[in-house]
Amino acid sequence: MIEVSHCDFIYNQGKSQVKVYDDFNLTIERGESLVLIGPSGCGKSTLLYLLSGLLKPTAGNIKIFSESVKGTRQKTAFILQEYGLFPWLTVEQNVSLGLRVRHTVKRNYKPLVEEMIRKMGLGEVKHNFPSQLSGGQRQRVALARALTLQPDLLLMDEPLSALDALTRERLQGLLLEIWQEQRLTTVLVTHSIEEAVFLGSRILVLLDGRPTKVVGEISNPLVGKPGYRQTEEFFQKTSYVRSLLERGGLDESAR
Ligand SMILES: Nc1ncnc2c1ncn2[C@@H]1O[C@H](COP(=O)(O)OP(=O)(O)OP(=O)(O)O)[C@@H](O)[C@H]1O
C-alpha cells in the first residue's frame, strides 16, 4: 500500500509561497491504477513528484509499500511530460540507459532490452535518435525504458497528451495491457476524461482550491474489461467525472 499521511507541500517563490497541499491524505492499494484529473495548476504533477521522492513534503510522511520515502527509490519509475529521452542516444541506448546507470545489474541486460524493444514495436527504429521518431514512438521508448527497470510503481505525467487520437487510443490499450499483465501499481495524470475512465481503476478528481481539494473519488471496477469504452457504464462514469470538473469550476454559492 502507498500512504500519503498528513502531507503539506509549499513551493517557495521568492518572498511568496504557494501552498499546494495542506494536510493531504491518500492511500493507494498495490496493483491499483489511480488516475489524477483536474484543472491545470491544481497540483497533479506536484503529487507525482512527491510520490517519486523528487520533492519532499513540507510536513507529513509518504510510505511506499511500508517504507518511508526519503528520496528517489529504485523500484519507482517516473515518465515525465516530455518523455525525458536523451536526444544524443539511440532508441536502444535510451531504453537500456536506466539499467546501465544502475550498476545493480551485473548480468547481461541486452536480452531484456531487446525484449522490451520488440514488445513496444520499436525493432525497426532501434538505431534511430529521438528526433527521428514520431510522438507515439517516443512515448513507447519512454515506457520501454521505465519497464526494463521492472518497477513496482509507475508514475506517469500526461504520457499521451501530445499524440493524435488513434495513436493515443493504441497506447492507452498498451498501458492497460502492461498494467494487467504485470499488476503494477500505477498513478497517471491526464486532462482527458475518457482516458481517465478507460485507464483508472480509481479516479481522483482534484480541484485547485489553494490548497488542492479532492472533489471526487470514483471507483471504476470494470476498467480493462473488453469493450468497456462502448458500454453504458463507461458513458455514465465519464459524465460523472465531467460534472465534478464542471461543478468544481463554480464558486460555492453557485452550487
Ligand atoms: N517550481 C515551482 N515554483 C513555484 N510554484 C510552482 C512550481 N511548480 C508548480 N508551481 C505551482 O504549484 C501549483 C501546482 O502545480 P502543478 O504543476 O502540480 O499543477 P498541475 O495540476 O500538474 O498542472 P498542469 O495540469 O498544468 O500540469 C500551480 O499553481 C503552480 O503554478
**DSSP string over 170-193:** HHHHHHHHHHHHHT-EEEEE-S-H
Topology at the third CATH level for domain 2-75+152-251: Rossmann fold (3.40.50)
Q: Which residue has the cell 488513434?
A: 166
Peptide bond before 57: cis, by omega within 30 degrees of 0?
Answer: no
The reply to whether ipTM tops 0.90 is yes
CA of 32 to the centre of ligand 1 (A): 25
In degrees and rounded to multiples of 5, residue 201 shows phi and psi of -75, -20
**Per-residue cell: 246:** 464542471
Query: Domain coordinates of the chain in residue numbers?
Result: 2-75+152-251, 86-150
3-state secondary structure 198-230: HHCCEEEEEECCCCCEEEEEEECCCCCCCCHHH
Taking the model in full, what pTM does it have?
A: 0.89
121 contacts: CB under 8 Å, gap ≥ 6? 140
- Rounded distance between C-alpha atoms, residue 238 and residue 20, angstroms: 26
Q: Pick the atom of ligand 1 nearest to 48's CA.
A: 18
Q: How do the pLDDT tens digits run along the chain, 255 residues long?
A: 999 999 999 998 888 888 999 999 999 999 999 999 999 889 999 999 999 999 999 999 999 999 999 988 889 999 886 667 888 999 999 898 877 776 555 567 788 889 889 888 899 999 999 999 888 888 889 888 888 888 999 999 988 887 788 888 888 888 898 888 888 999 999 999 999 999 999 999 999 877 888 999 999 999 999 999 999 999 999 999 999 998 774 433 333
What residue's CA is closest to ligand 1, atom 25? 40
CA of 102 to the centre of ligand 1 (A): 30
Q: Which of 8, 12, 20 most suits a substitution to test ligand 1, by most atoms within 8 Å of the C-beta?
A: 20
CA of 7 to the centre of ligand 1 (A): 16
Q: Pick the atom of ligand 1 nearest to 210's CA.
A: 29
